[in-house]
Amino acid sequence: MLSAVETWLESREFLAGAFSGADIITGHACTVAKRLGADVSDKPNVTAYIERLNAWPALKKAWATASPSSFRQYAEACQPFSRLHVRRMRSGTMLA
């Protein structure tokens, strides 16, 4: 997903040109992925995008209320799904 966002943002500040709901959803996914350890060092457009979105005052306030433990809890809650997802992709039984 991060590679697709990287490519799409090559000539754009936001996904649809101007800030939109797509940026709220995708920006959140990019930010959380980075906070959970995704390496974005080779993705300068994604890095700038995350920084641009996180510079908004309302988002700064929202992130300030999130504790580091909430990210750990989120990651732990997602792990069973992620492992199942990977197994199904590898076995060719991924559900639509």
Q: What are the pLDDT digits (tens) for 26-80?
A: 998 998 888 888 899 999 999 999 999 988 888 778 777 766 566 566 666 666 5
Are residues 87 and 55 part of one domain?
no
- Is 22's pLDDT higher than 80? yes
**Is residue 8 located within the same domain as residue 34?**
yes
Q: Which structural domain, as residue segments, surrounds residue 21?
A: 2-65
- Pair 83, 44 in one domain: no
pLDDT band per the 50, 70, 90 thresholds, residue 96: very low
Is the model's pTM score more than 0.75? no
Span 5-20, mean pLDDT? Answer: 93
pLDDT at 95 over 50: no
DSSP of the chain: -HHHHHHHGGG-SSTBSB--HHHHHHHHHHHHHHHTT---TT-HHHHHHHHHHHTSHHHHHHHHH--HHHHHHHHHHHHHHHHHHHHHHHHT----
- Domain match, 7 and 42 both: yes
**52/78 same-domain check:** no
Q: What is the pLDDT of residue 82?
A: 56
